[in-house]
Amino acid sequence: MQKKVFQVRPVVWCLPKMCCSKREIQDLLRGHLPYAALRSFNPNRFQRDFAIIGPAKTPFAGGVFLFSLTYNSRYPAEPPQAFLETPIYHPNVACLGVVGLDLLLWMWSPEMRMKNILERLVCRLERPDMRCTWNVHATTVFLHNNAEFHRTAADWTKVFAKKQDVDPNKSVTHNQ
């Protein structure tokens, strides 16, 4: 029996200085994503900080949620990590701010972009995903007493997601 010889070629991912394209940054600066604003931009960091506006007709309406995406050296082969800095009462967000998004957990593709992640986050604010819950208490209340969930989430939004934290209509700050 003859042995098969396989040649192993290392996969090399080139991580650009900017973990997202110039066009993605320009779209955010021009307001093409009306629900999100880029908070700070440093081309030498592997992190992007955003402000996300709570969607209307949700308990998060009117709130400004500070959010960051952290990219690692394997991007785009591996997804960035999502972290919500603003405390929020939500089934898909752990108490320490780790965000459970299906897009970043099992649906990731190297073709995904920052816009896809931000859109999915806003979608999860409108409709929590029961397939990847991280906050047991919020999930239980959401499933068994929806009115109480909405009251509690709205109270947290009023206390923690204040509009004066960031003005999404202002331009980005450039960190050096």
Identify the CATH number of the domain in which residue 97 sits.
Answer: 3.10.110.10
Is the residue at 152 inside a domain?
yes
Is the residue at 3 inside a domain?
no
**Chain segment 107-127, per-residue pLDDT in tens:** 888 888 878 888 888 999 999
Is the residue at 10 inside a domain?
no
Is the residue at 151 inside a domain?
yes
Is the residue at 100 inside a domain?
yes
pTM: 0.74
Mean pLDDT score, 91-110: 88
**Chain segment 30-63, per-residue pLDDT in tens:** 655 666 766 665 565 677 888 888 999 999 998 9
Query: What is the side-by-side order of every strand in the sheet holding 64-70?
Result: 81-84, 64-70, 47-53, 36-41, 173-174
Domain count, the chain: 1
pLDDT of residue 20: 58
User: What are the angstrom distances between the C-alpha of 44 and each of 36, 40, 47, 85, 169?
Assistant: 22, 12, 9, 21, 24
Is the residue at 4 inside a domain?
no
Is the residue at 176 inside a domain?
no
CA nearest 139: which of 90, 87, 84?
90
Is the residue at 34 inside a domain?
yes
The first and second tokens of residue 49, run together, are 């900080």
pLDDT of residue 69: 85
Q: Where are the alpha helices (DSSP H) in 96-135?
A: 102-105, 114-126
Q: For residues 125 and 138, is the Cβ–Cβ distance under 8 A?
A: no
Q: Where in the sequence is the domain holding 89, given as residue range(s)?
A: 22-166
